[in-house]
Amino acid sequence: MRTELEPRRGLSAAEAARRLSEDGPNLLPAPRPPHPARLLAAQLAHFFAVMLWVAAALAWVAGMPELAAAIAVVVVVNGVFSFAQEYRADRAARRLRDLLPVRASVRRDGRTVVVSAVDLVRGDLVLLAAGDRVCADLAVVESSGFSVDESLLTGESALVRPEPGGRVFAGTYAVEGFCAAEVVATGAHTRLAGIAAVTASAVRPRSPLAVQLHRVVRAVAVAAVAVGAVFFAAAMLLGLPTAEAFLFAVGVTVALVPEGLLPTVTLSLARAAQQMAGRNALVRRLESVETLGSTTFICTDKTGTLTRNEMTAVRVWTPDGEVSVDGAGYGPEAEVTGPAAALAALPSVADSAARCAPDAHAVNRSGRWHPVGDPMEVALRVLAERAGRASPPVPTARHAFDPRRRRSSVVDADGVHVVGAPDSVFPRCAAVSHAAEEALDRLSRDGLRVLAVAVRAEVRDTDAASSEAAESDLVLLGLVALADPPRPDVAEAVAACRTAGISLAMITGDHPGTARAIAVQVGLAAPEPVVVTGAELPADDTALGELLDQDGIVVARVAPEDKLRIARALQARGHVVAMTGDGVNDGPALRAADIGVAMGASGTDVAREAADLVLLDDHFGTIVAAVELGRATFTNIRRFLTYHLTDNVAELTPFVVWALSGGQIPLAITVLQVLALDIGTDLLPALALGAEPANARTLRGRLRTGSLVDRTVLRRAFAVLGPAEALTAMAAFLVVLLAGGWTFGAEPGPELLAAASGTAFTAIVLGQLANAFACRSETRWIGRVGVRGNPLLLLAVGVELALLIVFLTVPPLPGLLGGGLPTALGWCVAAAAVPAVLFADAGAKALRARSLIRQKDSS
């Protein structure tokens, strides 16, 4: 029994608008976000915050209200800061999700149109093909070889094949075949709406980046508690009362814990994700920003990514000769030239090809023709119009394109019409001439995408039920060659990948000759590249990895299963793999890759859901831009980690000196001054370093991957920048004391101690000012980096200096903190912290550069 596939007229635009107004948009009920007050309370009541509240209460009971207030201020400031950043990051993530619209093909006013899924209404006739997301509850009207994946609803992985009259539910995916179905429920009335309420309560596990950052914070916190315990013991040995010794140790511990680190990282990732969205790269998970920067191997598709995906049929081969079609775009006007016999054969070739694309067409908007549907299918329809094609009979059965068969077919009153990859169609033909083989080779070498068109005039009873039966005993009519020119700036993006040390491979389902030609044109491959087909890939995964691990390789005629094996084989060789995909069967490969990249304009909903990154413009250059921003973000996290740790060294040193001297050298800064440094100097510069823009060096050479806190970060913080800042601060403190008549072991007067302590405090602030600029690069000194590349840092430094003046001069802060205005000599010595930090930084970088040169020469 044949299935009638004649498209119905569908609703009128006016009726659809009326129903939309009546029923509302097709949206699931939005989960109610937690109230901001609840989120803020959570930031003020986690374990570490509770510990600090207890310390503040003990300080208050012990008669030290200043310390109690300072600790409370630290908890509140960091809690508000954390709340603000996470709230902003969550809102940014919601805005980014809204950038990726879900579309649906429907019949309205007798034509196929693409609308936003939000605008679907009851009674709409929706057309579904493989890879489409089902956006509402539907009743199947007509179908051909149609199946859906309902695992989201049922948990069962087996495919469901609904018959006419059966139901298809929102949230499922079309896997294969074709279906026309009527909308019966939208939005809150769908079966998915109930499940969504349960899903909203699920908690997403922490990302690897978050785990690594929590590990860093925990390690620093444990170290801070250990240091506090050591100073508690030291204070007791020096004769301090137990209560004072305990509170002193608590103050040191509070000062050393970087409570604002995690929200700073979150904000840095969210900001990078927003920047990527502005460059047409939608990051679906914030932690993917950092992974992008670590990419070492990109496996890219050809069509639409390296090329424009603007298909035009430019040459048609028939047994009677070859025809040239000179017509730009998708308009009906074109100049067709060729031998008379070939021109006579052209309409039949074009007509049969176009029958396999019944839903594709072009529309004229503002004087320019735009494709509606798959660009390749639209090109076939346009070719038929240019060849004077008449209206075809109504199809009785349709076998949709399948990535394994690589062909599609339609059965109608005139017979069976098949179009597809030549190596897929040729074996189904009764005979293929040597001239056809030569034409295929010639057209492919020219970089054209070639489709074979074949027919069978006889219609059999089994044709409607089985594609295998329908697509047999065919007669080859001809070859259609489609031009899809490379994008103009792809060559530049490919060159940027090479500069960045990123290897490239073209992974495509196209003909090897076409893939080779395009790869050479854009510079991805050498003039004589290594080209293999999916059938030639080794069965052994180790051998597969060895074959693929070379820059510029081209793999043609791949199946979706091949892409999954390719991703895993490269990962086994230590690569961080970015894999592009757009088809329904690309989902496993996109999930397996470190970064799955889906096409936002031409890709399927399945691919977009599986991906970590969605290219809103399908452009290869957008991947490179996203990698650049990912690298910049990874480097920025290391920058402000170095900044935080350097400050901790300078803050801790006065306490170490006091303890080691047995109290003979007074404490250079108080606990309250340390807290003021954390609140006044760390937050804004750290944020500014997290917003450091990418520069020309970002994509130069392979990015170092691994731990955020590695040997380089620790060496810079604890062996270079921190000691320079700490030594200058202690020197400034001692110079002021000695100039005021102090001798070792004596108790300095209150005014002298306040001036000396204010000098040490000033030296640390100025040292942190220089440290902020030094942290802008791990390899270049400030003279080469400059100071103008990050306006936010200049603003943060200005605020830092203003706060320094406030802390030193505005009553009652000097008295509370324990530091007064430095003397003239003190100002001079404190100011030396700036060149001291910068010179230490420049010297360390110069020594490291020489060491790397020697290592390179010796190797």
Q: Which residues are catalytic?
A: 301
Secondary structure (3-state) at 750: helix
Site of tokens 């030549």: 422
Q: Which amino acid is it at 421?
A: A
DSSP state string for 155-215: ---S-B-PPTT-EE-TT-EEEEEEEEEEEEE-GGGSHHHHHHHHHHTPPPPPPHHHHHHHH
Contact 844, 716 (CB under 8 A): yes
Cα angle value 270/271/276 (rounded, 5°): 95
235 within 8 A of 671, measured Cβ to Cβ: no
Half-sphere exposure of 298 (CA within 13 A, CB side): 30
Give the integer Cα–Cα distance in Å for 443 and 429. Answer: 20
> What DSSP state is assigned to residue 682?
I
Q: Which of 583, 739, 747, 758 is nearest to 666 (CA)?
A: 747
Beta bridge partners of 148: 160, 174
Q: 554 has which bridge partners?
A: 506, 531
The dihedrals phi and psi of 241, each to the nearest 5 degrees, come to -60, 155
Whole-angstrom distance, CA of residue 418 vs CA of residue 40: 63
55/232 Cα distance (integer angstroms): 14
Are 122 and 19 in contact, with CB atoms under 8 Å apart?
yes
Q: At what angle do helices 683-690 and 261-278 cross, to 10 degrees?
A: 30
What is the β-pairing status of strands 595-599 and 613-615?
parallel
Residue 71, token pair as written in the block: 């600790």
Question: Angle at the Cα of 486 (from 481 to 487), degrees rounded to 5?
Answer: 140
Per DSSP bridges, beta strands 297-300 and 281-283 are: unpaired
How long, in residues, is the chain?
Answer: 859
The residue behind tokens 């969504």 is: 196
Pairing of strands 553-556, 531-533: parallel
HEC readout, 430-493: CCCCHHHHHHHHHHHHCCCEEEEEEEECCCCCCCCCCHHHHCCCEEEEEEEEEECCECCCHHHH
Token pair for 721: 């920048």
Say which residue the tokens 């509170």 belong to.
247
Short-list 758, 785, 782, 761, CA closest to 770: 782
